[in-house]
Structure 1
Amino acid sequence: MAEISADLVYEVLRSVQHDISQIKGEVRDVKIELNAIRGHLISVQQDIHNIYGILGRHDARFEHIERRLDLNETPPLSA
């Protein structure tokens, strides 16, 4: 059986350490991108919330206009 020297172990450990440091850097990049995506999603949610608010106000205004003009979608009941 071949004898394992300390130099060989150190070389393998250095290679593993280098790989781990690369992985840490890539994970850091992924976290940055994930935070950017999270920020965009929050912006989209706020925009949708604002749109719903605007649509609600328009709906209320249309109902008010319909009442003032006496416009009804349902036909009157006949006697």
Structure 2
Amino acid sequence: MSAEIDSLVLEHLRHIRARVDQIAEDVGDLKHRMTSLEGTMSLVKREVAYGDETDARHQVSLDRLSERIARIERRLDLGDSA
């Protein structure tokens, strides 16, 4: 009877070991995917920052143009008379 119990315990331990190995492999895959995702997110953040920088430059250009138009209108006396 003791040999049967030992055999049953070993069978369960082998099953547990196989599951632990599978879980370890899955965790390794998830780590790899997370590293890839972090790299991609870093690129996205960089692109967003570049877009914000571009928007800021465009806004400065528009502000300068607006100031120039206002000066031209004042010189030509084209301002609103309202």
Q: TM-score w.r.t. structure 1 length?
A: 0.79
Aligned partner of 1:57: which letter?
R
**2:55 matches 1:55:** yes
* Count of residues in Structure 1 that have an aligned counterpart in Structure 2: 75
Over residues 38-72 of structure 1, what are the superposed CA-to-partner deviations in whole Å (9 max), with x where a residue is unaligned? 11111111111110001101100111111112179
Unpaired segments ≥5 residues, structure 2: 74-78
RMSD of equivalent CA atoms? 2.4
Measured in 2, the distance between the counterparts of 1:26 and 1:77 equals 74
Aligned position for 1:21: 21
Q: How high is the sequence identity, in percent, across the aligned residues?
A: 20
Unpaired segments ≥5 residues, structure 1: none
Measured in 2, the distance between the counterparts of 1:68 and 1:21 equals 71
Measured in 1, the distance between the counterparts of 2:33 and 2:64 equals 47
Measured in 1, the distance between the counterparts of 2:39 and 2:81 equals 54
**2:29 matches 1:33:** no
Runs of 4+ in structure 1 deviating by more than 3 angstroms, as ranges, are 75-78
